[in-house]
Amino acid sequence: MKERVRILLPEEKVNARIAEIAQQISKDYEGQEVHLVSVLKGSVFFMCELAKRITVPVTMDFMSVSSYGNDTKSSGVVRIVKDLDEPLEGKNVLVVEDIIDSGRTLSYLLEILGKRGPKSLRLCTLLDKPERRVTQVAVDYTCFNIPDEFVVGYGLDYAQKYRNLPFIGIVEFE
Ligand code: IMP
Ligand code: MG
């Protein structure tokens, strides 16, 4: 299937919004440290841009879960492919996600991470498609709510492609 990508959110708009969210996070965690947990691979671009703009001390760790194949639909099956390197005990954990769609991945992940004794556990996402929610998750920081369209860029992929686009685009299938 051939596809085209149409710009939904240009780079400047994304970066400006990330700066706002980073400012909010810096305020909320004032006088404390924040431990960013990135869900690979989609959230790495967002995580870097966010981390650069947070003014309280930041540490980072990465994990990888799989819920999607090379398709645009959730399988509902979530598997830890790569676990975190560091324990979460006593830390202010902020999970950084690229997009929340059905919510299945995140509700499962937050449940697992919550059992590891963090001091606090919050969720920050670049994008949210609220219309698509199947499992409820409490999102603490959202950069953009978007319509029910399949998007790529800024770390998000379609069949592993387009992650490097500097903007968020909608995939249009011909
Ligand atoms: P959920 O479990 O349905 O919330 O799925 C979340 C994950 O699905 C995200 O972390 C992405 O990896 C993937 N995903 C959901 N919607 C999109 C999209 O529009 N573009 C690219 N990946 C998506
Ligand atoms: Mg993801």
The CATH number of the domain holding residue 97 is 3.40.50.2020
Q: In the chain, how many domains are there?
A: 1
CA of 43 to the centre of ligand 2 (A): 6
- Which pLDDT band, with edges at 50, 70 and 90, does 69 fall under? low
Indicate whether 72 belongs to any domain. Answer: no
pLDDT of residue 79: 83
Closest Cα to atom 9 of ligand 1: 99
Indicate whether 71 belongs to any domain. Answer: no
Give the range of the structural domain holding residue 160, as residue numbers without chain letter.
Answer: 3-64+78-173
Indicate whether 44 belongs to any domain. Answer: yes
Indicate whether 69 belongs to any domain. Answer: no
Indicate whether 152 belongs to any domain. Answer: yes
Q: Model's pTM, two decimal places?
A: 0.93
Annotation marks residue 101 as catalytic: yes
Question: Which helix (H) or strand (E) element contains residue 21?
Answer: helix 11-28
pLDDT of residue 105: 87
Indicate whether 97 belongs to any domain. Answer: yes
The residue-averaged pLDDT of 31-54 equals 97
Residue of 5, 39, 101, 102 to test ligand 1 pocket, by largest number of atoms within 8 Å of CB? 101
Indicate whether 70 belongs to any domain. Answer: no
Beta-strand ranges (E) seen in the chain are 3-9, 34-40, 58-66, 79-82, 92-100, 120-128, 141-145, 151-152, 168-173
71 pLDDT higher than 80: no
Indicate whether 35 belongs to any domain. Answer: yes
